[in-house]
Amino acid sequence: MARRKPATTHGLAIVDKPVGATSHDVVGMLRRRFGERQVGHGGTLDPDATGVLVVAVGMATRLLRFVEKTQKEYVGEVVLGVETDTLDAAGRVTATYDMSTVTLDQARAAAAHLTGPIQQIPPMVSAIRVDGKRLHELAREGIEIERQPRPVVVDRFDISATDDPLVLHIEVECSAGTYIRSLAADLGTLLGGGAHLRGLRRTRVGSFTIAESAGPDDCELLPVAAAVRSLAPVTVDDATAALIANGRVLPAWPGDGPWAIFDDNERLLAVSERFDGPTRSAGDAARPTDRFADQGDLTAKPAVVLPVRP
Mean pLDDT (whole number) for 215-219: 97
Q: Given phi > 0 = left and psi -120 to 50 = alpha, else beta, which region is 142?
A: left
pLDDT tens-digit readout, 98-131: 999 999 999 999 999 999 999 998 775 666 666 5
Q: What percent of the chain has pLDDT over 90?
A: 76
pLDDT in tens, 8-36: 999 999 999 999 999 999 999 999 999 99
Confidence (pLDDT) at 308? 61
Please indicate whether the domains covering 11-70+207-227 and 72-198 agree at the CATH topology level. Answer: yes
The chain-wide mean pLDDT, for the chain, equals 88
C-alpha distances in angstroms, 48 versus 17, 86, 91, 119, 179?
Answer: 10, 12, 11, 25, 14
What pLDDT is stored for residue 246 in this prediction?
92
pTM: 0.88
Instruction: Say if domain 72-198 classifies as CATH 2.60.120.1440.
Output: no
What pLDDT is stored for residue 275 in this prediction?
A: 85
Q: What does the alpha-carbon distance between residue 96 and residue 63 come to, in Å, rounded to a whole number? A: 44
Domain ranges in the chain are 11-70+207-227, 72-198, 231-305
pLDDT at 158 over 90: yes
φ and ψ of 21, to 5 deg: -95, 140
Across 3-17, 72-86, 137-151, 175-189, least confident range: 137-151
The pLDDT of residue 165 = 96
Q: At residue 199, does pLDDT exceed 90?
A: yes
Residue 246: exposure state from Cβ atoms within 10 A (0-12, 13-18, ≥19):
exposed
With beta carbons less than 8 A apart as the criterion, state whether 61 and 39 touch: yes
Query: Of 16, 25, 46, 256, which one is the catalytic site residue?
Result: 46
For the beta carbon of residue 284, count every other beta carbon within 10 angstroms: 10
* pLDDT, mean of residues 149-168: 97
Q: What is the pLDDT of residues 38-63, one digit of tens each?
A: 999 998 898 999 999 999 999 999 99
In this structure, of 108-117, 146-155, 208-217, the range with the lowest mean pLDDT score is 146-155
Q: Where are the beta strands (DSSP E) in the chain?
A: 11-17, 39-41, 50-57, 72-80, 82-84, 93-96, 116-120, 129-130, 133-134, 150-161, 167-174, 195-205, 208-209, 221-222, 232-235, 250-251, 259-262, 268-275, 299-305
> Does the structure show a pLDDT above 80 at 185?
yes
pLDDT, residue 138, reads: 52
> Smallest Cα–Cα separation from 65: which of 153, 155, 151, 177?
177
Give the model's confidence band at 5: pLDDT under 50 very low, under 70 low, under 90 confident, else very high: confident
Q: What is the pLDDT of residues 264-294, one digit of tens each?
A: 999 999 999 998 765 433 333 334 444 434 4
pLDDT at residue 107 in the model: 98
Output the CA–CA distances (angstroms, integers) from residue 130 to 77, 182, 192, in the order listed.
30, 19, 31
Of residues 298 and 126, the one with the higher pLDDT is 298
Examine the residue annotation and report whether 264 is marked as an active-site residue of this protein: no
How far is residue 285's CA from residue 291's CA, in Å, rounded to a whole number? Answer: 12
User: Sign of torsion, CA 37 42 44 47?
Assistant: negative
Phi, psi of 27 (to 5 degrees): -60, -45
Homologous superfamily of the 11-70+207-227 domain (CATH): Pseudouridine synthase (3.30.2350.10)
What is the C-alpha separation between 255 and 202, in angstroms, rounded?
Answer: 29
Average pLDDT over residues 173-191: 96
Q: Report the distance separating Cα 111 and Cα 107, nearest Å.
A: 6
Residue 151 phi, psi dihedral angles, 5° rounding: -75, 130
Level-2 CATH architecture, domain 231-305 = Roll (2.30)
